[in-house]
Amino acid sequence: MKIVVNGYGVFLGAKNGMVCIRNEGKEKTIALGNLSQVVVASGGVVVSSSLLRLLSENNVDLIVLNSNGSLAGTFHPVYRKANVLVRKEQYRAQKDERGLFLAKCFVRGKIMNQYYFLRSLVRSKGKKCKESYYEIRRRCEELDSCRSQKEIIGVEAKAAEVYWKTISEFYDIDGRRKRYNNPDPMNMALNYGYSVLMSVVSLAVDSTNLDPFAGFLHVENPRRPALVVDLMEEFRQPVVDKAVLRVTPEVKDGLLTRDTRREILDNLFKRLDKRVTFNGRKLPIEYHIHLQARRIERFLLGKENYTPFVQR
């Protein structure tokens, strides 16, 4: 369970060992119970030091998001486990076949999720776009012959071009090429959703011994955690696309309105809470994200094979 706060003037505190929320003269208390996170998704929220201590004592993370949905920071217990061997193997894997294998897995998961999502759209909407999702499937097969990170990214880019061109047949979106140059409302909504997803994946990677900045698919950048971006590729369609494309986004003064951001967040967290079966286990998607991060860790230690997350 998580608490999501999205509104100005809200006060978060502690009362009788519970989380206390005050807003516009109203007060609500929530028992810690199965609480896993408190998410602050807007400015103008006050958090008391008493609540910070209470959350820390009960191993509950406090997450603060920027206005664009990206992760601003977290507050969690000071003591975290550490296994230096994992990071040593992670750095070695960047230079051997394990790194190439993982890079292919991340892209294979993304492309296959694109394939299944498009297939379901075509079947439900009745449009004749079968050749599009068949082409995406063929692109996925090209991964087997890739021998470098550059080749893998090339396959991913070609599949993405087909995917978004087909998506535009169903939704009001002007492709993803313009997402950084005066993006349309739907692209702005998708960007916001991907930023929130990145925050969720960041927390999953942070719960392991992995270095979030040492990736296998994306180029390392001191401002962007490459491994987090790698792993989130598997969850873009199952979480963000399926949640955001249902929204009719509204923009004011060049920004998504607060109501639009609230609707996107509601849809995203519903998707994250949705129970799906993967690797023989039916769990909320957010649990699968955490498990995938741990599987990367175990794969690097030679304890488990790695299979990309695909939702059929």
CA-angle at 109, arms to 70 and 239, nearest 5°: 40
Rounded to 10 deg, the angle between the 285-300 and 97-125 helix axes is 160
Domain encompassing residue 27: 2-75
Same domain, 201 and 168: yes
Same domain, 61 and 169: no
In a domain, 296, yes or no: yes
Query: What integer pLDDT is reported at residue 78 of this predicted model?
Result: 63
Query: What integer pLDDT is reported at residue 181 of this predicted model?
Result: 56
Same domain, 142 and 261: yes
CB 132 within 8 A of CB 162: yes
Same domain, 37 and 165: no
Same domain, 17 and 144: no
Q: How many domains does the chain have?
A: 2
Q: For position 234, which CATH number holds?
A: 1.20.120.920
Query: What integer pLDDT is reported at residue 157 of this predicted model?
Result: 94
Same domain, 219 and 89: yes
SS3 string, the chain, reads CEEEECCCCCEEEEECCEEEEEECCEEEEECCCCCCEEEECCCCCEECHHHHHHHHHCCCEEEEECCCCCEEEEECCCCCCCCHHHHHHHHHHCCCHHHHHHHHHHHHHHHHHHHHHHHHHHHHHCCCCHHHHHHHHHHHHHHHHCCCHHHHHHHHHHHHHHHHHHHCCCCCCCCCCCCCCCCCHHHHHHHHHHHHHHHHHHHHHHCCCCCCCCCCCCCCECCECHHHHHHHHHHHHHHHHHHHCCCCCCEECCEECHHHHHHHHHHHHHHHHCEEEECCEEEEHHHHHHHHHHHHHHHHCCCCCCCCCCCC
Same domain, 48 and 91: no
In a domain, 293, yes or no: yes
Same domain, 128 and 36: no
In a domain, 305, yes or no: no
Distance, CA of 144 to CA of 140 (rounded, Å) = 8
Q: For position 39, which CATH number holds?
A: 3.100.10.20
Domain boundary among 23, 55, 75: 75
Name the pTM for this structure: 0.83
Which residue carries 């006060």 as its tokens?
Answer: 11
In a domain, 33, yes or no: yes
Segment-wise mean pLDDT, segments of 10 residues, the chain, 312 residues: 81 87 85 81 86 84 84 73 88 96 97 93 73 87 93 95 89 63 83 94 91 93 92 97 94 90 94 94 94 96 96 89
Query: What integer pLDDT is reported at residue 67 of this predicted model?
Result: 79
In a domain, 308, yes or no: no
Domain boundary among 53, 75, 97: 75
Same domain, 139 and 234: yes
In a domain, 307, yes or no: no
Domain boundary among 75, 101, 122: 75
Same domain, 258 and 111: yes
Query: What integer pLDDT is reported at residue 85 of this predicted model?
Result: 94
Same domain, 224 and 149: yes
Distance, CA of 245 to CA of 266 (rounded, Å) = 13
Same domain, 129 and 8: no
